[in-house]
Copies of this chain bind each other. A is one copy, B any other.
Amino acid sequence: MKSISIGLVGLGTVGAGVAKLIKSRSSYVRAKYGVDLQLTSICDLRVDPKLVKSLGKVNVVKNYNEILNDPAIDVVVEVIGGVHPAYEIIHGALEHAKHVVTANKAVISSYGQELFRYARAKGRSVYFESAVLAGVPVIKTITEGIAGNRYNALFGIVNGTCNYILTQMSQNGLSFDQAVKMAQEKGYAESDPSLDVNGTDSAHKLAVLVALAMGKFLKVKEHIYTEGITEIGAEDFKYADELGLAIKLLAIAKKNDGKVEARVHPTLIAKTHPLASVQNVYNALLLEADALGDVLLVGQGAGQMAAASGVFSDLINLALANDLVDRTWIGDNPEEFEVLELRPMSEVEVEYYIRLMVIDRPGVLSKITGILGNEGISIASVTQKAVSKNMAVPLVMLTHMAKESSLRKAIEQIVKLKETKATPVVIRMERL
């Protein structure tokens, strides 16, 4: 029976879940897969002695170099999160000719290309199923499950915190602040939730997905337009609902005319689409594959066992791989993928929802539609809620397809009108 020896770096929530799975399922894994997963060493500064005791014979070390330097260890599992020293641990493991399993989207989105080249040079693999949608096998699906297809577009709900907040705002009419508080109470949001709610976490995951599905390595800050969910108001859910639409924070990539666009922002989608039914902390990924068509995967994108499950699955798949068939990053050559340019956000075209607060006086609508028209933006529908004369009232418009640069120019002018009160809310729409 094949046996692999594992060094686990990080015994936090996910690490503890991985350790428990390795321990509790060892006989099942031996019987079903014919491999023996041995958890040999654990590195963490503070460990729960009860947990360690329950794991049986295992070395506990405080310096990860002890794991990297241990010739008996075959695979290093990195579950500490963050970029540093996670990068150094992964790089060091490869340097010592060990395979790596990680759940770290920050490292993979920033250093993936370099680490995978290095892994190939060293004849080793890096598995990272849990980096996106936790253990829901989106990485495996993109790289192996739908082999031989090209991906024209992808749409992901990849951050459970944001999806929970938006679901609570939508279903229970909570304000953003109330929903954040509730998410924190339930353990779905950090005490500082900014990396989630400002879209950064989603952008990291989008970078990983675009690299895998479209072969384009993007730098998160430079190349991915990222907008969070902090500007959406309770009333936007009401108007969206009336229009048959739901609001989701989507990570979007589309490929056309040799260009790829990648963006993270709140998005209006049809309420009847299965993606709109993905609620609370569930995550989802919709792939548009050119032969197969649309494929949607839905599941828990966070949580101890959901993330640990993906790492555990990676360990089994790694143990069963007979030699280096690094499916994820095979063919790091120019011909493998079409060479795609980046489409700048200003050139992206979508339909827009625009909510303004305007003083309800004669001629206002004409001024606003005039500005939009001058920028080449035509209106698909307008709803003006008459409250009373000379009061600020909401004006909700849907546009036809328009270029982002035109929309921004129009909004700049609209903001300057004396009838405009409050900052306009603009939400992009996608027809899935």
Contacts and interface: CB of A to CB of B under 8 A. Distances in A.
A312 interface: yes
Given A291-B309, A292-B135, A336 B31 contact: yes
B149 A313 contact: yes
B298 A292 contact: no
Nearest to A138: B145
Interface string A319-332: 01011010100110
Contact of A274 (B140, B298, B316, B335): B298
A46 interface: no
A294 B300 contact: yes
B31 A333 contact: yes
Nearest to A337: B32
Interface in A296-353: 296-300, 303, 305-306, 308-310, 312-313, 315-317, 320, 322-323, 325, 327, 330-331, 333, 335-337
Interface string A122-155: 0000000100001111001100111111100000
Nearest to A318: B147
A300 B288 CA distance: 11
Contacts of A52: none
A388 interface: no
A34 interface: yes
Interface SS of chain A? mixed
A147 B246 CA distance: 34
A295 interface: yes
Contacts of A309: 146, 148-149, 289, 291-292
Given A32-B330, A272-B279, A147 B312 contact: yes
A56 to B, nearest CB: 18
A57 interface: no
A135 B337 CA distance: 22
A301 B112 CA distance: 34
A277 interface: yes
A34 B329 CA distance: 12
B137 A145 contact: yes
Contacts of A211: none
Interface in A383-424: none
A331 to B, nearest CB: 5
Interface of A: 21, 25, 28-29, 31-34, 129, 134-137, 140-141, 144-150, 272-274, 276-279, 289, 291-300, 303, 305-306, 308-310, 312-313, 315-317, 320, 322-323, 325, 327, 330-331, 333, 335-337
Given A137-B141, A292-B300, 14 more contacts: A28-B148, A29-B148, A34-B330, A134-B292, A137-B295, A141-B141, A146-B309, A147-B312, A148-B313, A149-B313, A291-B312, A292-B305, A294-B298, A296-B297
28 contacts: A29-B148, A31-B331, A31-B333, A32-B330, A32-B337, A33-B147, A33-B148, A34-B330, A134-B292, A135-B291, A136-B292, A136-B295, A140-B144, A141-B145, A145-B145, A146-B309, A147-B313, A147-B317, A148-B309, A272-B279, A274-B277, A274-B298, A292-B305, A294-B300, A295-B298, A320-B325, A320-B327, A322-B322
